[in-house]
Structures are given as C-alpha cells and as structure tokens.
C-alpha cells in the first residue's frame, strides 16, 4: 500500500537490512547504465525534430514544443545543467531501488503507453499504481508534501501524470518525490484532470500548425525598479533568446535574472560570454 511507502523506505534506512535484494540491485544497476547512456552518449544528444510525446502534454508553452518539433536550435545545455539532470535521474533510480528494498512492488518501468495516438513512457507502477518519481529541490518538494502542487504547477506535472494515468485507465496516480537536499520523501496521490484527451488534441494541433503559437507569457516587473524580467517558465526555456531578442542576463547571488527591459541598471555583473547561468 502506498500509504505506508514513506515509512517503509525510512525503515530500510533506519534499521538496515540483513542482505541486499539481489534482483532489485541488478535492476538498479541496469537502470543506472541507461541513465548514463541517456545523459552522456553523443548519439542521444543529436538535435532531431522532436516527436509529439505524452511527456509534452503538461508543458505550459506550446510555442516551445512547436520550436522543438521542428528541430529549431535553442540554447546548448551548460555542463552543470547536464550534471544536474544526471544526478536528478540517479536520485530517482536510487529511490526506485529503495522502494523495492522496502518490499513494494515496482513494475512497468518505462512502459510505453498511448493516448489519442500519442505515445509516452511512464516512470513505473508501484503496487499497481502509475507513479511519477521526482527528485525535487526543497522548495518544490514542499508542494508534493503539502499537496499544493495542483495550485502551483508551472511545469505541468499534474497534467502530464494525468495523461499517463488516463492511458493506463487509472484515476488516482501518484507522485513519489524525494527532497534531494534533505532526503525527505513524500507520496502525493492526485485525481486525473478532466479534459485530458481534449488537451492532447489541443497540444497536437498547436504543434502541427504552420506558424509558431503566440508567447503565452508576458514579462513581469522586477520589483519597483521599472525593470521587466522573464517569468519562471521562460527563464528556464532554451528558446528564450529567440522569443525575447533583447534579453540581458544579470548574475545575482541567488542566480541569473533575465531582463527584457532595463530602466535601472542592476548593480551586479552582466553575463557577456554565456559562461554562467
């Protein structure tokens, strides 16, 4: 039962185990190999036009999907961003291993599912329930723990998991999240969103239309300075320089800030050579 999952995994860590579950270990090592291949092999990085996938169904911007579908070149990922993705994937596999060690049944890892002729791969099922495994910052983890994700879901995780669950004819899939800073775990069951099928049709239509969809996000005020900055979704997007041609990047201690309009010059360095961010 998923209700006991968090305590069960903590018990493995608290009490220790008499011997390693060899089958779980073999699966973990095989999964790790796939993670390394996915993130490091050059052949997996070639920029090909992206197929329409269920993983895109939660994406908040169909314009970025339109660019991707046509193989438009966005920003290259920085090495530290690639490293972040790599250890995020490793953490997720570690969590799946621990779930297995704790006695829960993990099946259907990366099973290909289909909804309205669009394919996708689920992370896995735990005890028969479609689950999305997330490694999260402490800030994001709070939304899984408190159950507030559906109110603040800038990257569309709920819609994406809804599509996977619908494809498997389930109504109550779960997120299993791990706070990568503090090691806490949370299970968040959700109800499948209404209109999942209609949304898939909408996204397909947007991606296949001949002109790029409009930008769905506006720039937002940066405090009271009069400066205008990108909102969160655009600031993470690889196409931000295409969408916002006069963008300037300033390096604050908390991270880069992307300004669309500068009224008052920030008193922090401006990124000129793309070496930071």
Structure token digits, residue 95: 């969590």
Stretch that binds ligand SF4, among 31-39, 95-103, 233-241, 264-272 (CB under 6 A): 233-241
* 61 makes contact with ligand SF4 (CB under 6 A): yes
Stretch that binds ligand SF4, among 94-102, 141-149, 165-173, 234-242 (CB under 6 A): 234-242
Q: Is 260 left (phi over 0), alpha (psi -120 to 50) or beta?
A: alpha
- Cβ atoms of 240 and 247 within 8 Å: the answer is yes
Stretch that binds ligand SF4, among 3-11, 58-66, 85-93, 124-132 (CB under 6 A): 58-66
Transcribe 28-86 into DSSP letters. HHHHHHHHHHHHH-GGGT---PPPPBGGGTT-S-HHHHHHHHTT---PPPPHHHHHHHH
Among 115, 149, 234, 259, binds ligand SF4 (CB under 6 A): 234
Structure token digits, residue 6: 């968090």
Comparing CB distances to ligand SF4, the nearer of 61 and 133 is 61
CB of 153 vs ligand SF4, minimal distance in Å: 15
* 64 makes contact with ligand SF4 (CB under 6 A): yes
Among 144, 239, 250, 258, binds ligand SF4 (CB under 6 A): 239
Q: Residue 115 to residues 155, 160, 167, 190: CA-CA distances in angstroms?
A: 20, 12, 5, 19
> Strand, helix or coil at 226?
coil
Which parts of 121-160 interact with ligand SF4 (CB under 6 A)?
A: none
Among 144, 240, 258, 259, binds ligand SF4 (CB under 6 A): 240
φ/ψ of 131, rounded to 5, equals -130, 145
Among 5, 98, 186, 237, binds ligand SF4 (CB under 6 A): 237
Among 54, 56, 63, 260, binds ligand SF4 (CB under 6 A): 63
> Strand, helix or coil at 118?
strand
Q: How far apart are the first and last CA of the chain?
A: 42
Q: How many CB atoms lie within 10 A of CB 114?
A: 11
Stretch that binds ligand SF4, among 18-26, 37-45, 86-94, 232-240 (CB under 6 A): 232-240
* 233 makes contact with ligand SF4 (CB under 6 A): yes
Residue position matching structure tokens 């800038």:
154
Stretch that binds ligand SF4, among 26-34, 59-67, 191-199, 258-266 (CB under 6 A): 59-67
Comparing CB distances to ligand SF4, the nearer of 69 and 215 is 215
Annotate 127-170 with three-state secondary structure.
CCEEEEEEEECHHHHHHHHHCCHHHCCCCCHHHHHHHHHHHCCC
Comparing CB distances to ligand SF4, the nearer of 178 and 234 is 234
Among 97, 175, 217, 258, binds ligand SF4 (CB under 6 A): 217
The residues that touch ligand SF4, with contacts defined as CB under 6 A, are 61, 63-64, 215, 217, 233-234, 237, 239-240, 243
């Amino acid at each position: 039962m998923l209700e006991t999952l968090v305590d069960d995994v903590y018990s493995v860590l608290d009490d220790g185990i008499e011997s390693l579950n060899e089958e779980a270990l073999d699966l973990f090592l095989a999964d790790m190999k796939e993670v390394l291949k996915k993130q490091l092999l050059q052949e997996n990085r070639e920029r090909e036009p992206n197929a329409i996938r269920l993983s895109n169904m939660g994406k908040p911007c169909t314009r970025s999907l339109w660019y991707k579908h046509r193989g438009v070149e966005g920003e290259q990922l920085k090495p530290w961003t690639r490293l972040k993705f790599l250890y995020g994937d490793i953490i997720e596999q570690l969590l799946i291993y621990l779930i297995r060690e704790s006695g829960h049944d993990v099946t259907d890892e990366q099973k290909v599912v289909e909804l309205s002729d669009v394919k996708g791969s689920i992370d896995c099922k735990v005890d028969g329930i479609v689950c999305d495994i997330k490694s999260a910052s402490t800030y994001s983890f709070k939304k899984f723990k408190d159950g507030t994700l559906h109110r603040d879901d800038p990257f569309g995780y709920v819609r994406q998991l809804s599509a996977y669950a619908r494809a498997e004819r389930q109504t109550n899939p779960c997120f299993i999240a791990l706070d990568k800073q503090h090691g806490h775990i949370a299970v968040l069951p959700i109800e499948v969103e209404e209109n999942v099928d209609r949304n898939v049709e909408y996204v397909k239509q947007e991606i296949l239309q001949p002109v790029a969809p409009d930008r769905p996000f506006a720039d937002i005020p940066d405090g009271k300075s009069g400066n205008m900055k990108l909102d969160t979704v655009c600031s993470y997007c690889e196409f931000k320089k295409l969408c916002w041609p006069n963008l300037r990047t300033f390096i604050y201690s908390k991270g880069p800030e992307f300004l669309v309009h500068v009224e008052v010059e920030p008193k922090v360095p401006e990124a000129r050579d793309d070496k930071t961010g």
